[in-house]
Amino acid sequence: MKTIKGMKFETLISENDIATRVKELVKEIAEDSDGKEIFVIGILKGSFIFLSDLLRLFNVHNIHPSLDFITVESYGSGKTSSGKLKMLRDITTDIENKWVLIVDDILDTGRTLAFAKEYFLKKKPASIKTCVFLDKPERRVNEFKADYVGFEVPDKFVVGYGMDYDNLFRELPYVGVLSDEEDT
Ligand code: IMP
Ligand code: MG
């Protein structure tokens, strides 16, 4: 158990396990994309560390994707979702006929990715795939399934590797689970 900024948490996924799994994911994506022109859309802010690891490994497979970011507002501060969604930042490039890969940190209720996928489908890409570092299937409020999933995790609030609690802990190189225990 570690305590940072008065919050207690435990490691759920180690740095080593992350590195191994991310390599496998990139291999899968490389095989599926089969030489097509890839356009990667990262969902800010949570995806930025996962995405930077993915991108640097694409290079190993001789894949040279284009990249843009969106911001979808889905959570207020803290642990609860409002359920309302809005595109706060959109991409500025045309994705028609491109092989699009939307990347997010964690698939939770499924609202964010369902919203983003539907939004970009209207722009007539050749295909849209979705890739998430973590999947919390127990929390889903719709039928959404990601095409590429790093790890399935239980219904616990996680931080690190880009994911935050109140905009903190994104810098941790591993994934931790916040504890409900009070700091005594
Ligand atoms: P969804 O729309 O409920 O699937 O929410 C996805 C977004 O909620 C993710 O992109 C995260 O930013 C955030 N989120 C969901 N669960 C967690 C968590 O356990 N830790 C940190 N962020 C989370
Ligand atoms: Mg997010």
Domain assignment present for residue 7? The answer is: no
Question: What is the structure's pLDDT at 82?
Answer: 60
Question: What is the structure's pLDDT at 184?
Answer: 47
Q: Which atom of ligand 1 is nearest to the CA of 104?
A: 10
How far is 44 from 154, CA to CA, in rounded Å? 23
User: Is 48 a pocket residue for ligand 1 (Cβ < 6 Å)?
Assistant: no
- Residue 79 identity: K
Contact assessment for residue 42 and residue 72, using Cβ atoms and an 8 Å cutoff: no
Residue range of the domain that includes 90: 37-74+83-171
Measured from the Cβ of residue 127, the count of other Cβ atoms closer than 10 Å reads: 14
Over residues 91-136, the pLDDT tens digits come to 999 999 999 999 999 999 999 999 999 999 999 999 999 999 999 9
Domain assignment present for residue 87? The answer is: yes
* For ligand 1, atom 9: residue with the closest CA: 106
User: Is 146 a pocket residue for ligand 1 (Cβ < 6 Å)?
Assistant: no
The three-state secondary structure class of 147 is: coil
Q: Which ligand is nearest to the CA of 165?
A: 1
What are the residue ranges in the chain where pLDDT is below 50?
Answer: 184
How far is 13 from 177, CA to CA, in rounded Å? 9
Question: What is the structure's pLDDT at 44?
Answer: 96
- Kindly state the tokens that stand for 74: 């889905």
Non-local CB neighbours of 95 within 8 Å, separated by 6+ positions: 39, 41, 120, 123, 124, 125
How far is 74 from 87, CA to CA, in rounded Å? 9
Q: Which atom of ligand 1 is nearest to the CA of 106?
A: 9
Neighbours of ion ligand 2 (CB under 5 A): 46
User: 2: cis peptide before it, omega within 30°?
Assistant: no
Domain assignment present for residue 181? The answer is: no
Domain assignment present for residue 30? The answer is: no
DSSP state, residue 15:
H
Positive or negative, the Cα torsion across 55, 58, 62, 66? negative
Domain assignment present for residue 129? The answer is: yes
Residues known to be catalytic: 108
* Site to substitute for ligand 1 among 69, 75, 131, 165, most atoms within 8 A of C-beta: 75
Question: What is the structure's pLDDT at 90?
Answer: 97
Question: What is the structure's pLDDT at 179?
Answer: 85
User: Is 119 a pocket residue for ligand 1 (Cβ < 6 Å)?
Assistant: no
Domain assignment present for residue 11? The answer is: no
Q: Which atom of ligand 1 is nearest to the CA of 85?
A: 2
Domain assignment present for residue 94? The answer is: yes
CATH number, domain of 101, equals 3.40.50.2020
Q: What's the number of domains the chain is made of?
A: 1
- Kindly state the tokens that stand for 75: 């959570």
Distance, CA 22 to ligand 1 centroid (Å)? 19
CA 140 to chain CA mean position, Å: 15
Domain assignment present for residue 177? The answer is: no
